[in-house]
A and B are shown apart, each in its own frame.
Chain A
Amino acid sequence: MMNSPIITFENLSIGYHGEPLLSGISLTVTRGSFIAVLGSNGSGKSTLLKTLLGLIPPVAGRIALAREPGASFIFGYVPQTTNLDPLYPFTGFDVALMGAYGRVKPGRFVPGGERTFTRECLEAAGAQGFAQTRFAELSGGQKQRVLIARALVTRPDILVLDEPTSGVDAAATHAVLEFISRIHREKEITVLLVTHDLPIVRKHAQEVVWLHQGRALHGPVAEMLTPERLMSIFEMEVS
């Protein structure tokens, strides 16, 4: 099943209130790939992410998700830690357990098996040591590990990470990205990473989708991040 399409963007236009911000996006995300979505502020990264996750409808075109008959497509979504209000007195475990809520019907309590699985995911993400600490009190890197554990608890078809290194220092960034790369390799899980950090993309991603001037450019990292290509994108010299 590796290299089979998992997400296909078919002549997609995205934007708000019928006004396209990006148009003519046609690309395929293959199963088991590690794709980075790059772009400057305002280029449409967040809009693309919101459209993919189903938060806003496409202006035109469609997104085809490869799912088993009768099954739903699960996004293992990892938000920016700054998007989550520190007022909520959830522990790290409480936050990670939310990943199981998609499988537990409303009105039912979370079964013991799901709690055990959540502990396993926290352990895999290196977050078991602070799972009982209040989430708001954790550092940026620790929060990211808890949120990655939560995404794993969903048993995702794809991991979607929204600028996971935002607000996280260099050492924690390195650790978080190494962990994501490792689970990508070991679990053969598809990863979609939204970022503006070129060194991270060079080191970890296989393909790049670059959002630039209303278009989405797609290709392998080796092709997309050559100095010549970067020059043409930025219209300036990059050494």
Chain B
Amino acid sequence: METLLQILSPDFLLRNSVYTSILVGFACPLVGVFLVLRRLVFMGVALPQISSTGVAVALSVPLWLGVTQDVHSSQGEHMVAFIGSIGFTLTAILVLGFLERRGRGQPEGRLGTAYVVAAALSILILSKNRFAELGWLDMLKGEVITISNVDLLLTAIMLALVLITLALFHKELFLVSFDRTMAVTLGKNVAFWDILLYLLLGLTVSLAVLSVGPLISFGFLLIPALIAHLFARTMRQFLLLASLLGGVSSLVGFWIAYTWDFPVGPADVVLLGVLYGIAWLVAGIAGLTPEKRRGRYAVKNGANG
């Protein structure tokens, strides 16, 4: 408890890291919910990896151009990384989303290929970059220790933008996701709402990767949403529970990492994995899995009336 109070204290040296982790923890599951509902879980794996490849490429460009600079000292450097992250993520998500809408080929195959190629490209770039050892690998592993006030503010503003957009347009985004035909008959511009959702996903993933790395981003995008889906009875419960789980897990994960001197990213993700396992057991024992609920309701109300 003492350690937890210390972590939450405004004087705590790594407070920006704590705040950023919590922000990402609260925000990522809210867009992750759409990935789960649209059965695009693998996109949640591929996008953070593609985003981190974008960071690697963007930070390598000065080197390729023969410009020498210190990676950690410049805000301009951070902006270049952000541009690389968001550029790669948005391009990938729009291309993958377009192919998804056309419904051709195997989505899992495309996403799997995108993931593995992005991962390999990151390794290739880093292997030829002498600045890599200075910190990029830490970032890509999810080592949340060097977050400036500007980074924190930027993350907070962008995530607030995502949250406000989701709050304002959730009914259109859910309608288009749930029943596209109905959306068309009601005169909704399905392509527009799809692109808005992809932009929100891209922006959130880019920011999360830049702040906390691809590992935590993936963990917080999907696992809280998967846990919440086991217990939520309504869409509102689903969103609130997923977000709350993400935020609280990020704080607890940071506390565990700080107490036992673990890297924060892996600690967060393992914690979420353990919680998912416990949630499955509890849901199974309590008969809350969707299959059991359906079966119980059918028995109670007649087979197919």
Residues of A in contact with B (beta carbons under 8 Å apart):
53-55, 72, 74-75, 77, 79, 83-91, 94, 98, 101-102, 104, 106-107, 110, 130, 133-134, 136-142, 150, 154, 168-169, 171-172
Contact = CB atoms under 8 A, between A and B. Distances in A.
B127 interface: no
Nearest to A173: B304
Nearest to A167: B304
B169 interface: yes
A7 to B, nearest CB: 14
Interface in B240-298: 290, 293-294, 297-298
Interface in B217-256: 229, 232-235, 237-238
11 contacts: A53-B184, A55-B184, A77-B181, A77-B182, A79-B181, A79-B182, A83-B181, A106-B168, A107-B169, A130-B301, A137-B294
Contact of A91 (B39, B177, B234): B234
Contact of B169 (A53, A90, A106): A106
A168 B37 contact: no
Nearest to B177: A88
A32 to B, nearest CB: 20
Nearest to B168: A107
B181 A55 contact: yes
B111 interface: no
Contacts of A168: 304
Given A89-B235, A102-B186, A171 B181 contact: no
B114 interface: no
Contact of A53 (B185, B234, B297): B185
A98 B36 contact: no
Contact of B39 (A79, A87, A140, A172): A87
A74 B184 CA distance: 10
A138 B294 CA distance: 8
B169 A169 contact: no
B172 A94 contact: no
Given A84-B178, A137-B293, A139-B302, 16 more contacts: A53-B181, A53-B185, A72-B187, A77-B181, A79-B182, A87-B36, A88-B177, A89-B232, A89-B234, A101-B175, A101-B188, A130-B301, A140-B304, A142-B301, A150-B182, A171-B305
A85 B37 contact: yes
A136 B297 CA distance: 10
A89 B177 CA distance: 13
A104 B293 contact: no
Contacts of B2: none
The binding surface of chain B is classed by DSSP as: helix
Interface string B58-82: 0000000000000000000000000
B163 to A, nearest CB: 14
B297 A138 contact: yes
A73 to B, nearest CB: 9
Contacts of A53: 181, 184-185
A54 B186 CA distance: 11
Contact of A172 (B37, B290, B305): B305
B179 interface: yes
A101 B187 CA distance: 10
Contacts of B169: 106-107
A110 B170 CA distance: 12
A132 B12 CA distance: 47
Nearest to B171: A101
B304 A90 contact: no
A140 B301 CA distance: 12
Contacts of A72: 187
B297 A133 contact: yes
A134 B293 CA distance: 10
Which of A53, A90, A106, A107 has most chain B Cβ within 10 Å?
Answer: A106
Contacts of B185: 53-54, 74-75, 77, 154
A150 B37 CA distance: 21
Given A102-B186, A137-B294, A169-B304, A88 B233 contact: no
B303 interface: yes
B82 to A, nearest CB: 28
B235 A139 contact: no
Contacts of B39: 85, 87
Contacts of A104: 171
B229 A139 contact: no
Contacts of B181: 53, 55, 77, 79, 83
Contact of A141 (B168, B232, B305): B305
Given A89-B237, A106-B169, A154-B186, A142 B305 contact: yes
